Amino acid sequence: MKRLLKDVRVIDFSWIGAGSYTTKILADLGADVIKIETAARLDTLRLTKPFKDGISGVNRSGYFADRNSSKRSITLNAKHPEGLALAKRLAADAHLVTNNFTPGVMDKLGLGYEALRNVNPSLVYASMSVQGAEGPDKNALGYGLTIAAVTGLLHMTGLPGREPAGTGTNYPDHIPNPGHTAFAILAALRHQRRTGQGQFIDLAQVESTQSMMGPDLMDYFANGVVQTRRGNRHPERAPQGVYRCAGADRWIALSVCSDEQWLALADALRLQAPPQWNGLPGRLAEHDAIDAAIQVATCAWDACDLAAALQARGIAAGMVQDARDVLERDPQLAARGHWVTLDHPEVGPSTYNSAPYRYSQASSTPTSPAPLLGQHTREVCRELLGLDDPAIDQLTRDGVLA
């Protein structure tokens, strides 16, 4: 199947989470994403657990691997005058340049939008800082968890009356920020293809994260209501929760949306004299009693079997899966061919995520494993910069390609 972005070249200065996931989306769609790295300041994810076989190393991080499939890596010291010149030459023939540094960093390097637009007027330039390139907080530093905190997302997670529990992972790095940025980039590339014009994309990561909280923000601005933590409760659905099942640390999540589903649930679990569902979300005391009865009933079930039985009755339910379950037991992921095994040059066969979407006539699955640090330096220098081996060797000795 064809690759939608097979003719697009990306010079990728982004690192860590959101930026790297953005360019992974493009790389898996066929773009030639050239990841600019330097051994002097490694991408933090290269040093982040888990490591294959528990052995640390710059090429052994599973976290880094999952964010950097289908890319090429070159080591290039852009702080060196010759390295800066090479970076500009790469940008001159590229469709897109990306970074997720604090505003001003790329300008200080001589690689800001205005500098690169001078060598490539049709360039699309995407910058993903925490608070955007303008405004009083433009110099703010942060990662996924700090973005989740400053936007109020963490405030919404947890049980009523307790401290926020957090999302358990850097949610802004995985969903809203790479998703919004990739969408903006695709729109800009389409405009570039049609008109030959470039664009500057300034994405503030706090804004795309806040977009995930639209109803709660509107409730405050329109009604003055400050939403807060409610655990597994839902204002319009009940019962809803996560209930223990048979076995060690086995659970099921379920959500009832109507009288019909409530009666079906009561019948499946053989609950006694079920009251009508209508209005239940507001009757917390009654809800607690029903929760307790459900919990007693679900303990007798295997989580996978119960999920299948409830789904067959039209009830939203799913087994709470650990990592092994997701890899080995999830029938939907298996049916979609979500997991791809690629042979990494250092750690061997490794499992990679495919994109969560599919195209009818194009592929979006990873094509190659994450690159070794600088694995493609010589290849890119020959292919795109026209350098021969003696020149590459000299630049390496001089610390330019390092």
Q: What share of the chain is helix, strand, coil (3-state, %, to 5)?
A: 40, 15, 45
Ranges of beta strands (E only) in 114-156 are: 124-129
- Amino acid 370 reads A
Tokens (6 digits) for 264: 């079906």
Q: Which of 235, 228, 229, 244 is nearest to 159 (CA)?
A: 229
* Distance of alpha carbon 314 from the chain centroid: 30
CA angle 340, 346, 348 (to 5 degrees): 40
- Please answer whether residues 389 and 88 qualify as being in contact, where contact means their C-beta atoms are separated by less than 8 angstroms: no
Element (H, E) at 83: helix 81-92
Q: Which residues of 167-199 are buried (b: 16+ CB within 10 A; e: fewer)?
A: beebbbbbbbbbbbbbebbbebbeebeeeeebb
The residue count of the chain comes to: 402
Residues 6+ apart with CB under 8 A from 261: 277, 313, 314, 315
Task: Tell me whether residue 388 is one of the annotated catalytic residues.
Answer: no
Of the candidates 28, 43, 173, 291, the residue annotated as catalytic is: 173
| DSSP calls for 327-362 | HHT-HHHHHTT-EEEEEETTTEEEEEEPPS---SSB
Of residues 31, 13, 17, the one with CA closest to residue 367: 31
State the catalytic residues. Answer: 173
